[in-house]
Amino acid sequence: MIDLHTHSLFSDGVLLPAELVQRAEYIGYDAIGITDHVDHSNIDFVVPHITRFAESVNGITKINVIPGVEITHVPPVAIASLAKRARKLGAKLVLVHGETIVEPVPPGTDHHALLADINILAHPGLIEPDDVKLAAQRGICLEITARKGHSLTNGHVAKLALDFGAKLVLNTDSHDPSNLITRENAIRVAKGAGLKDKQMDEMFNNSKKLVEKIL
């Protein structure tokens, strides 16, 4: 299992990074991205701390830990500059909190995120076809999520991604230990989004390739 979207107590998660990683390794994760929520107020604090933690455990634990961020609820025009800032501070994985239908995310977030230097657009909600095409053109992955609420539009995201050739990845958006899932449960989430076996294999391989590229 590769999960590139999780949160620690450096944002709104409940676990220290060390416990988050330990629990993920225990249930069979191969790699985990710690992608705490950031905006202009905390990015300079969060990224160096998560990066330092990842450097301290990689090579010791069996699981690969990838330091990252989830740029969240910022004005869409500010996404690109924050993504650049995150990279400069050491983030190897940059996500943007997409236009989920269960939160008041600023309109235009999906589009501006896809113009920025990011890896994954998280839970992009009722994303427009033109933005899915843009994701495909730029090689940015769209997220199928196991997170309650955000997952309501998984079927919409999956269908458009398949129609226009955009890459999919599956993540948990974990905030507490109960959110982490096994590979078997990830397969159930993918089937619920309407993906067939071959499409699921390709999606899981996208996560693997992204980790290999980052590391």
Tens digits of residue pLDDT in 35-84 = 999 999 999 999 999 999 999 999 999 999 999 999 999 999 999 999 99
φ/ψ (deg, to 5) at 137: -65, -35
Please report the pLDDT score of residue 215 as a whole number: 86
Burial call 67-86: b when 16+ CB within 10 Å, e when fewer: bbbbbbebebebbbebbebb
Q: Taking the model in full, what pTM does it have?
A: 0.98
Tens digits of residue pLDDT in 18-37 = 999 999 999 999 999 999 99
Assess whether pLDDT exceeds 90 at residue 15: yes
Domain 2-214 in CATH 3.20.20.140? The answer is yes
Residue type, 43: I
Between CA 84 and CA 68 the distance in angstroms is 12
